[in-house]
Structure 1
Amino acid sequence: MQDYSRLVGIDVGTKRIGVARTDLLQTIASPVGTFSPDDILAELKALVEDSKIEKFIVGWPLNPNGEEGRATDMVDEFIKKILSKHFPDIPVVRIDERYTSNKALDLMLEAGVPKQKRKEKGRRDRIAAAIILQNYLDSQDNYGNSTHRNI
């Protein structure tokens, strides 16, 4: 019997944190929700209790020129204080998240999401988390090996 597990994608922000997860076959990423920094630990614990989580895939907010900055420091702090501390047995993979918020907006436009709903930042954050996670999935070969460089 196969042991199924999920991956969880996280888009960390100062005010909101977008979360997505894969299906059990790890082929499709779907948005879960957007949570405040105060609520994220409880939400992640609930996800871990609900399903076996294989990895956390965290958006790594590089500057447009590819360098790390204040935003990467904030995400690194989140990884240390929340993920590594509370989920030490679940590996964390950082993946370049440049332009995922713009892609999220483009996807909402293509899907015909009304302008008022597109303005909801929480909606964009959870879609960005799904894009980060799907980018990770798409970068894996058929054997689960990464075809890109982990950051």
Structure 2
Amino acid sequence: MSKILGIDYGKIITGLSITDSQKIFAFGLNAIPTQDLMNFFKCFLVYEKIEKIVVGLPKKLNNQKEILVEIEIQKFIKKFHIKYPKIRIERLDERFTSKIAFSTMIKLGLKKKKRREKIILNQISATIILQSYLTLTNPKKEKKN
């Protein structure tokens, strides 16, 4: 079965997450240097069947896009689409994901030194983006009494 990949794109580090085969849960996958992203996909997509990627859409509180980051994301999306045209690309508002991820790190009891690591923060953010997408797109199953 195919899976969905979540991406928290950053100028330096990009967080990645992946769904289970039933597309119910998102799990942190990795966080890698953004410059290595296409090489990562070249290897990763040989082993994993991915039907779709969900890329975070950076917005300000006033609902306007973060233009500088968005330009870089659009370049990545274009490059990805040319290389992998059969994999669909969707976007999801990523406002507050970094704050939620940081809060999660505190709740998990991570020490300050660990919380400063962008790798962990970006991976958790990617997981939040993907789980939010799954929650929004999966029909709610009715409870049976």
Q: Specify if TM > 0.5.
A: yes
Deviations along 1:74-116, whole A, 9 cap, x unmatched? 21111112x1121111010011001111110011111111221
Deviations along 1:27-68, whole A, 9 cap, x unmatched? 111111111122111212233211210100000101221112
After superposition, the CA RMSD in angstroms is: 1.3
Give structure 2 stretches of 5+ with no counterpart.
141-145
1:139 and 1:55 mapped to 2: Cα distance?
15
Contact 2:11–2:69 (Cα < 8 Å) also in 1: no
Pairing 1:95–2:77 present: no
Deviations along 1:128-147, whole A, 9 cap, x unmatched? 0111000100101328xxxx
Pairing 1:112–2:109 present: yes
Q: From 52, 55, 75, give the equivalent of 1:55.
A: 52
SS, match of residue 112 in structure 1: coil
1:101 and 1:77 mapped to 2: Cα distance?
22
Match of residue 149 from structure 1? none
2:44 and 2:20 mapped to 1: Cα distance?
13
Q: From 62, 68, 71, give the equivalent of 1:70.
A: 68
TM-score normalised to the size of structure 1? 0.87
Identity %: 34
TM-score normalised to the size of structure 2? 0.90
Pairing 1:137–2:115 present: no
Give structure 1 stretches of 5+ with no counterpart.
144-151
Deviation, 1:124, is: 0.2
Decide which structure has greater helix share: 2
Mapping of residues 37-56 of structure 1, within 5 Å: 37-56=34-53
Structure 1 segments (4+ residues) deviating >3 Å? none
Task: State the AA in 2 paired with 1:78.
Answer: F
1:7 and 1:75 mapped to 2: Cα distance?
18
Task: State the AA in 1 paired with 2:96.
Answer: Y
